Structure 1
Amino acid sequence: MTSSTTKSELQSLYTVQRFENVTGDLGKQNDLILCFPSAINPTKSLNKAVIFFGGDVQNYPEVMSQHRTNNIYIHWNLESTARILAKRFVDSLIIVIKPKEMLLNTFSIYSNFVEFDQDGIPMLFTNTNSNGLTHVSKLYSKALEIYENKQDCDLDKSSHVLCDSVSEKSDARPVIGCLAELPVSFVGFSKGCVPLNQILFEVATKHLSPETSDFVSKIKSVYWLDAGHNGRQDTWITSDFVLQKIASTTMELFVHITPYQIKDINRPWIGKEQRKFIQKLKALKADVTEIRHHFDEPGSLDLHFSILTEF
């Protein structure tokens, strides 16, 4: 957040609403937080949809405020982060996908997108039945339906019609009009790059249904913000086959890193994998941009979080 925009101004400029237990693929459920400009005319088309996966610590504000250590990072709660993203991506629909579980109210477990072991380590890029791509495409359809339904309600408040946000008893109905054609950007922050990487792995390796293929065609840009997790490998994608597939698309790829992850002496594999990721994509002529933040300073959790306002 820049100094010219206060917290109260962000709250007034953008509407933030949470929707619990939204059903995606095979009955799997995640909470969604939607954020969009408060003053937008319902007849005006949004210009983008942004799907965000947050990292460890990030939770609902009331949960973070009660945590004895995480409360000092409450500014980075999921709802505040949604507003920050809305300011970054003007006239966009921000869709924050909350992890299925927050272990100890701290560690993000995105088990609806990829398997995790008992220690909370993601089992990425394995030949399992993970269907993160299908799940996110169905959550996205539900998010559009929720937003469209809200606009209809706002236009018809005087009729006193009860407007349910979305029916969980049936699959999402097709979204009509410009919403269905919105370009999509993915943003993963820290542990949130785990589901992001799994989704791209599946884009490259799975046979896609027509519905999922249509969703993939709308993905125009992907942002990795200081990726990291507690495993000892697969923080970044290094498979030649997968990277070739990604490079062959028209997606714009953006990589933002800080010393907190890349120069951690206790996790040297993160920096090594990140260098391979960039080098291979550049060799493949992918549309990739790498930006380094605060490399003249020691790595810290504060600077790690600050990338959310600086990318």
Structure 2
Amino acid sequence: MDDSQSTDITSNPSLAPMSSIRAIAAGLSLIAVARTMSAAAGSSEGPGLCLAGVGASCSGSPPRLIRLTAVPGYEPHRVNDMLLLSPAGAHSRCSSDTEAAEDGNRHVVFFPGDIQNFQHEMSLQPEGAQWQCWSLERVALILGRRFPGRHVWVVRASRMYLHKFSCYHNFVESNLFGAPEHSPDYGALRHLRALLRHGMEQAGLLPPASPSFPPPGFSLALVGFSKGCVVLNQMVYELAGARTDPELAPFLRSVTDMYWLDGGHPGGSETWVTDRRALQELAASGAALHAHVTPYEVRDPMRAWVGREHRRFVRTLEELGARLVNTLHFEDEPASIDNHFRVIQEF
């Protein structure tokens, strides 16, 4: 969610989620699940939350949602809380060694937007409670259905200013409100690589102190929503240097897809990457690129630069021969925060 709009959203009850959001929650049977999550949200111990009735496998083994606290990253001061949704049967005794290895190799990482936090913490904040349909736990389950058979990682922003402005300063230089200042060597890719390695070790998906990372056959899809797109943008600026790095190059080759979902932040520019040299590196990466937007971001007359930058992003990548799919959702509906969030379910 774009910070320039956050005050209006959180202070005006008329902008509360519509019935469609409630329908999404009901359709995914998440209300009862969320209560269980809320009760356990303060703990990262134990085998994780078992989500009964959600995609059980051959032995009745459901997906597992695990909260990992303060996962170490690239440097000692860079830590992030994460959620991991493991697919049904990934840890089941009925899985063969080959199946278990395949389950452990396919991953999706999601970077959420403003307001989005753990269910329990959102319920305690008057401005966050009305948006609980899009808590980190609920989004993890939505993504689990969108990417069946993959491990879904949700990376919590390392700072939430005033409980609503997400700041990804572990990935990109940012001000209090999360507006980024991009550079070619901040270390976003190194940080993500370290987070995944340590997270997989903690979750039992990777042996401790593995000699190399990523493991053979590892694949990764990156998804940013709203403010979370600043992380993907920073990674694009780092591609040129990372491609020649002996540690990062194999990690980059594992990235199969990148999804930008209705990117937005409070700065007056660089909502979308428009630097041609950076986009040349992105096109040359061979990853499948996906831009999913709504009128809320790209047709807002008060922030006309967002739409201009998006068009330039798409046009330049098409000129460079990138594997790009660009989709405008809810084109014939009025721009709304409801539809802004709904792109998480529709993409």
Q: TM-score range by the shorter chain?
A: 0.7 to 0.9
Give the whole-Å Cα distance in 1 for the aligned partners of 2:109 and 2:199.
Answer: 10
Residue 146, structure 1, aligned to residue 195, structure 2:
no
CA contact (8 A) 2:178 2:265 kept: no
Where in structure 2 are the equivalents of 1:21-100 lying within 5 Å? 21-27=70-76, 28-40=78-90, 41=92, 43=97, 44=99, 45-46=102-103, 48-100=106-158
* Partner deviation per Cα, 1:29-69 (whole Å, 9 max, x = no partner): 11111011243335322162001100001001111111112
Give the whole-Å Cα distance in 2 for the aligned partners of 1:247 and 1:119.
Answer: 30
Aligned to 1:159: none
User: Which residue identity does 1:198 align to in structure 2?
Assistant: Q
What is the Cα deviation at residue 271 of structure 1?
Answer: 0.3
Give the whole-Å Cα distance in 2 for the aligned partners of 1:71 and 1:117.
Answer: 25
Give the whole-Å Cα distance in 2 for the aligned partners of 1:275 and 1:192.
Answer: 19
Aligned to 2:295: 259
User: Which residue identity does 1:137 align to in structure 2?
Assistant: R
Aligned to 2:193: 137
SS in 2 for 1:232: coil
Give the whole-Å Cα distance in 1 for the aligned partners of 2:244 and 2:115.
Answer: 33
Bigger Cα displacement from structure 2, 40-49 vs 188-197: 40-49
* Partner deviation per Cα, 1:147-203 (whole Å, 9 max, x = no partner): 3359x9xxxxxxxxxxxxx7xxxxx53479x96422110000000000111012101
Give the whole-Å Cα distance in 1 for the aligned partners of 2:285 and 2:25.
Answer: 34
Aligned to 2:168: 110
SS in 1 for 2:181: coil
* Partner deviation per Cα, 1:203-241 (whole Å, 9 max, x = no partner): 134464312111101001000000000000000010110
Aligned to 2:3: none
Residue 219, structure 1, aligned to residue 268, structure 2:
no
Aligned to 2:29: 6
User: Which residue identity does 2:197 align to in structure 1?
Assistant: S
Q: TM-score, normalised by structure 1?
A: 0.86
* Partner deviation per Cα, 1:106-141 (whole Å, 9 max, x = no partner): 0110000111134542112x36x5111111111111
C-alpha change, 1:226 and 1:207, in structure 2 (3 Å) is: same
CA contact (8 A) 1:95 1:143 kept: no
User: Which residue identity does 2:187 align to in structure 1?
Assistant: N
Aligned to 1:155: none
C-alpha change, 1:83 and 1:138, in structure 2 (3 Å) is: same
Unaligned runs of 5+ in 2: 1-23, 35-50, 55-62
* Partner deviation per Cα, 1:76-132 (whole Å, 9 max, x = no partner): 0011111111111011011111111011110110000111134542112x36x5111
Bigger Cα displacement from structure 2, 196-205 vs 231-240: 196-205
What is the Cα deviation at residue 9 of structure 1?
Answer: 8.0
SS in 2 for 1:99: coil
C-alpha change, 1:118 and 1:89, in structure 2 (3 Å) is: closer
CA contact (8 A) 1:145 1:175 kept: no
Give the whole-Å Cα distance in 1 for the aligned partners of 2:130 and 2:180.
Answer: 27
Q: What is the aligned-residue identity percentage?
A: 34
Tell me which of 210, 219, 226 is aligned to 1:173.
210
CA contact (8 A) 2:221 2:258 kept: yes
What is the Cα deviation at residue 3 of structure 1?
Answer: 7.1
Give the whole-Å Cα distance in 2 for the aligned partners of 1:196 and 1:149.
Answer: 25
Give the whole-Å Cα distance in 2 for the aligned partners of 1:196 and 1:9.
Answer: 30
* Partner deviation per Cα, 1:263-306 (whole Å, 9 max, x = no partner): 11211110000000000111111100011111111111111111
Give the whole-Å Cα distance in 2 for the aligned partners of 1:59 and 1:119.
Answer: 15
Q: TM-score, normalised by structure 2?
A: 0.78
Aligned to 2:225: 189
- Size of the alignment, in residue pairs? 289
Aligned to 1:158: none
CA contact (8 A) 2:67 2:83 kept: yes
Residue 203, structure 1, aligned to residue 253, structure 2:
no
User: Which residue identity does 2:138 align to in structure 1?
Assistant: S
C-alpha change, 1:302 and 1:38, in structure 2 (3 Å) is: same
Give the whole-Å Cα distance in 1 for the aligned partners of 2:226 and 2:252.
Answer: 23
CA contact (8 A) 2:166 2:177 kept: no
Give the whole-Å Cα distance in 2 for the aligned partners of 1:101 and 1:3.
Answer: 30
User: Which residue identity does 1:309 align to in structure 2?
Assistant: Q
SS in 2 for 1:25: coil
CA contact (8 A) 2:242 2:248 kept: no
